[in-house]
């Protein structure tokens, strides 16, 4: 791929970022990570409280990317077929079947947003995870393809009642888990409350120019981008050490306060997970106008791509967000490069 193409796409990506940042203020880091995942073609799990702007953020991205946007709410009685179709009695008094959220946009489905995924049953997770992995769905005796689809799901970590924990195998399908927190900057907080432009979400999202990116060209560009950004032997060695450290942090002298490190990790990052780290790091390098991955690119995406893949002893699961953050920071601090 020519440098010009890379630069053109980079400009588009940065424009998209810039426009989204105007709509969702104080979320520069999540916006950068979502942009990264879009170009790395990875699904994203958003974690955050209610009303922090997750939906607005995704709608803004969808508008900028173009293509179809579908959304479903996770509830305890949601069944897998609810994603595929729904039945109703028509005006003619006969039963009718219409396409569900997954099928509604057909192949043009660009972003599928699963709100509060942890409220849905494991059966629903199972279907969704297959769609995420294969980007296909068999329904009505036909195989449907969603080549451009990215799944964005969110979960509320505060409420635990009537929820189903997402198993580690399912979490591993998501490229990133991105925390969305309320901005701490006083001026931004005040603006979010008193600025009337934030009160009408539809009008707010409409401010993002449509189709800054061409959703149907993203797959092709993403593949070429991955081939354009190199990883030196030194970096490869560094990443392998990081990987090993997620499995046996004690071997690298990593400690977390108040945690028995010998018992903490049941399973480190998976090969798929580390592959996703590199995919995301390559995109980050490209966004920063580099032709090779640096350790800083790995650091930029390590927390969001690895933390949710770690499997801890049950006794530490309740504190996993905090422990995973400290452990990964410890790993970055402990492992040197070159």
Partner 1 sequence: MRASFLLITLTSILGIQPAIADVILPDINAKYVTIIEENPTRDAGFVVGDVLDRTITLTVKKPYELVKESLPIEGYEHRYKGQISGIELVKISTEETKHSDSVTHVLHLRYQIFTTGKLAKPAALRAEIVKMRNTTNKDVRQYRIPSYSFRISPLSVFGSVKLKEEMSPFIAPLLLDSSREKLTIKVLIGVLAASLLGLLYMLGMHAWLPRMGAPFAKAYRDIRKMPDTAEGLQQAVARLHESLNKTAGNSVFSSNLADFLQKKPAFSPVKQEIEQFFGLSRQVFFEPNAVTNVSASPKTWLQKFCRHLRDCERGLLPELKSTTNTKAS
Q: Which of 232, 262 has the CB closer to partner 1?
A: 232
Q: Binding to partner 1 (CB under 8 A): which residues in 219-238?
A: 230, 232, 234-235
Q: Does 288 sit near partner 1 (CB under 8 A)? A: no
Candidate list 139, 189, 261, 334; residue touching partner 1; CB under 8 A: 334
- d(CA 86, CA 79) in angstroms, rounded, equals 11
Is 299 a binding residue for partner 1 by CB under 8 A? The answer is yes
- The yes or no reply on residue 293 touching partner 1 (CB under 8 A) is yes
Phi/psi of residue 143, nearest 5 degrees: -95, 125
Q: How far apart are the first and last CA of the chain?
A: 29
Task: Find the shortest distance in angstroms from Cβ 245 to partner 1.
Answer: 12
- Is the Cα torsion angle 57, 59, 61, 63 positive or negative in sign? negative
- Asked if 296 touches partner 1 (CB under 8 A), the answer is yes
Q: Which residues of 109-127 are buried (b: 16+ CB within 10 A; e: fewer)?
A: bbbbbbbbbbbbeeebbeb
User: Closer CB to partner 1, residue 299 or residue 319?
Assistant: 299
Beta carbons of 109 and 146 less than 8 angstroms apart: yes
Beta bridge partners of 86: 98
Tell me whether residue 72 or residue 245 sits nearer to partner 1 (CB atom): 245
Instruction: List the one residue out of 331, 281, 327 whose CA is nearest residue 176.
Output: 281
Asked if 268 touches partner 1 (CB under 8 A), the answer is no
Residue 7 binds to partner 1 (criterion: CB under 8 A): no
The single residue among 13, 180, 294, 307 that binds partner 1, judged by CB under 8 A, is 294
- What are the residues whose beta carbons fall under 8 Å from the beta carbon of 38, sequence distance 6 or more? 61, 65, 150, 213, 218
Q: Which is nearer to partner 1, 136 or 237 (CB)?
A: 237
By CB under 8 A, tell whether 295 contacts partner 1. Answer: yes
User: How many chain residues interact with partner 1 (CB under 8 A)?
Assistant: 20
Interacting residue ranges for partner 1, rule: CB under 8 A:
230, 232, 234-235, 290-296, 299-300, 332-338
């Amino acid at each position: 791929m020519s440098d010009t193409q890379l630069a053109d796409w980079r400009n588009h990506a940065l424009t998209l970022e810039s426009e989204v940042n105007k709509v969702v203020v104080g979320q520069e880091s999540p916006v950068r990570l979502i942009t990264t995942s879009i170009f790395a073609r990875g699904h994203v799990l958003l974690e955050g409280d209610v009303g922090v702007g997750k939906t607005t953020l995704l709608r803004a991205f969808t508008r900028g990317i173009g293509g179809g946007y579908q959304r479903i709410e996770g509830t305890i009685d949601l069944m897998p077929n609810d994603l595929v179709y729904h039945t109703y009695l028509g005006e003619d008094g006969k039963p009718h079947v219409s396409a569900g959220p997954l099928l509604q946009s057909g192949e043009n489905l660009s972003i599928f947003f699963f709100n509060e995924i942890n409220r849905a049953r494991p059966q629903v997770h199972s279907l969704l995870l297959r769609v995420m992995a294969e980007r296909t769905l068999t329904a009505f005796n036909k195989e449907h393809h969603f080549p451009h689809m990215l799944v964005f799901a969110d979960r509320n970590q505060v409420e635990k009642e009537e929820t189903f924990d997402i198993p580690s195998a399912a979490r591993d399908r998501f490229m990133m888990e991105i925390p969305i927190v309320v901005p701490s900057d006083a001026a931004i907080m005040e603006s979010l409350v008193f600025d009337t432009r934030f009160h009408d979400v539809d009008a707010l999202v409409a401010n993002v120019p449509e189709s800054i990116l061409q959703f149907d060209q993203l797959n092709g560009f993403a593949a070429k981008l991955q081939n354009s950004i190199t990883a030196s032997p030194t970096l490869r060695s560094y990443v392998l050490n990081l990987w090993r450290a997620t499995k046996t942090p004690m071997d690298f002298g990593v400690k977390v306060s108040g945690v028995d490190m010998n018992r903490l990790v049941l399973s480190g990052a998976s090969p798929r997970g580390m592959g996703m780290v590199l995919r995301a790091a390559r995109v980050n390098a490209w966004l920063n106008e580099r032709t090779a991955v640096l350790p800083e690119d790995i650091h930029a995406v390590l927390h969001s791509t690895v933390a949710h893949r770690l499997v801890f002893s049950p006794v530490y699961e309740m504190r996993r967000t905090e422990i995973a953050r400290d452990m990964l920071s410890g790993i970055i601090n402990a492992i040197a490069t070159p």
